[in-house]
């Protein structure tokens, strides 16, 4: 019988450090509270900050390999998506049949609901924007479009903009108000959708053609959403397609025509309420101009969407303006 060599004290200490680092890293993917959170391990740390419905994590680690196994996914039930960039060092990412090396400035997207491994050959620092599963499918890609594993994203200047925003965010997210967090989260979702869709279209000509049509329809709706009489039938007719095909395009993008119009109107009214130059206008005037023809309905859906009533938001803006002056 072969003798079993016992690990040395140094090996035990090294294994313990790696275990603690792995636990710190894992906490990033399963934490679901919205409070700022910080944790440290020997040679590694992570900081997690809220960003509206999203969250951003700053991970520092020494040489380490992290494996997310099927049993881990079953245990924690996390199937969110992660937009990641490296600040320092290199990450060797493997998910499914996809493998790539991610260095400083590179941007990648990963599916938390699929097994993967990430190897850090040396000291590394990594930023992760966590996008909830439901939000990802509603705002970025539908379930039919996102049958993919980890991807290293290409996008030239747009990728640089997203990575720079992530870097700036980690420095000041803890000081942002809830309103500012929501505004920034919306910007990140728009940019993430643009980068990810651009990469997907490059690999699928049919998706590219549909996306071009969809962008044309959205441009038309951007001009018409304030019209309270706009309907799917009018939108389809203006773009030379059937109403059924219009609904199919929106379904594939993870939303509906009605939801898109309501969301766009809500965002516009929110922007108006935050605009100091519009404080003399009544809330009802703003909502009617943006396409809402029922004040009670508007107030209800606004609170459901943003967690605050229109009048309460305006009061907060006024209070902040007084403090600044």
209 and 173 co-located in one domain: no
218 and 297 co-located in one domain: yes
225 and 156 co-located in one domain: no
Does 188 map to a domain?
no
Does 62 map to a domain?
yes
Query: What is the value of pTM for the model shown?
Result: 0.60
> What is the per-residue pLDDT for 148?
63
CATH number for position 281: 1.10.10.60
CATH number for position 32: 2.60.120.10
Does 140 map to a domain?
yes
128 and 268 co-located in one domain: no
210 and 168 co-located in one domain: no
Helix (H, G, I), strand (E, B) or coil at 162: helix
Phi, psi of 276 (to 5 degrees): -60, -25
143 and 209 co-located in one domain: no
Does 257 map to a domain?
yes
> What is the per-residue pLDDT for 39?
45
Which sign, positive or negative, has the C-alpha torsion 74, 78, 79, 85? negative
144 and 275 co-located in one domain: no
Task: Enumerate the β-bridge partners of residue 38.
Answer: 47
Could you tell me the residue range of the domain that residue 254 belongs to? 205-324
Does 1 map to a domain?
no
Counting as low any pLDDT under 50, the low residues of the chain are: 1-18, 20-21, 24, 27-41
Does 7 map to a domain?
no
Q: Give the other-Cβ count within 10 Å of 12's Cβ.
A: 11
> What is the per-residue pLDDT for 137?
78
> What is the per-residue pLDDT for 47?
81
Task: Enumerate the β-bridge partners of residue 127.
Answer: 58, 85
Half-sphere exposure of 12 (CA within 13 A, CB side): 5
Alpha-carbon span 112 to 209, nearest angstrom: 29
Q: Are 129 and 196 in contact (CB under 8 A)?
A: no
Alpha-carbon span 258 to 250, nearest angstrom: 10
217 and 99 co-located in one domain: no
254 and 119 co-located in one domain: no
Condensed to tens digits (0 to 9), the pLDDT of residues 104-160 reads 989 999 988 889 999 998 899 999 999 988 888 777 776 555 556 788 887 677 888
Alpha-carbon span 245 to 257, nearest angstrom: 11
């Amino acid at each position: 019988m072969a003798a079993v060599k016992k690990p040395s004290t140094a090996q035990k200490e090294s294994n313990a450090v790696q275990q603690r680092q792995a636990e710190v890293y894992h906490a990033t993917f399963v934490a679901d509270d919205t409070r700022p959170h910080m944790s440290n391990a020997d040679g590694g740390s992570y900081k997690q900050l809220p960003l509206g419905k999203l969250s951003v994590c700053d991970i520092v680690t020494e040489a380490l390999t992290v494996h997310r196994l099927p049993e881990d996914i079953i245990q924690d039930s996390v199937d969110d998506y992660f937009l990641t960039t490296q600040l320092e060092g290199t990450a060797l990412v493997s998910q499914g049949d996809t493998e790539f090396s991610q260095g400083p400035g590179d941007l990648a997207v990963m599916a938390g609901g699929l097994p993967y491994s990430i190897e850090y050959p040396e000291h590394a620092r990594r930023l992760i924007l966590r996008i909830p599963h439901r939000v990802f499918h509603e705002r970025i890609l539908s379930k039919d479009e996102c049958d993919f594993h980890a991807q290293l994203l290409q996008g030239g200047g747009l990728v640089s903009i997203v990575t720079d925003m992530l870097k700036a965010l980690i420095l000041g997210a803890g000081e942002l108000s809830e309103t500012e967090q929501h505004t920034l989260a919306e910007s990140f979702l728009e940019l993430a959708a643009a980068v990810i869709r651009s990469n997907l279209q490059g690999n699928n000509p049919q998706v590219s053609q549909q996306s071009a049509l969809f962008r044309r329809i959205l441009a038309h709706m951007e001009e018409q959403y304030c019209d309270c009489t706009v309907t799917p039938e009018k939108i389809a007719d203006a773009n030379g397609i059937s109403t059924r095909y219009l609904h199919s395009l929106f379904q594939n993008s993870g939303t509906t025509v009605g939801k898109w119009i309501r969301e766009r109107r809500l965002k516009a009214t929110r922007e108006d309420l935050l605009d100091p130059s519009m404080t003399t206008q009544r809330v009802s005037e703003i909502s009617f101009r943006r396409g809402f023809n029922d004040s009670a309905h508007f107030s209800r859906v606004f609170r459901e969407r943003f967690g605050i009533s229109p009048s309460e938001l305006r009061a907060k803006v006024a209070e902040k303006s007084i403090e600044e002056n």
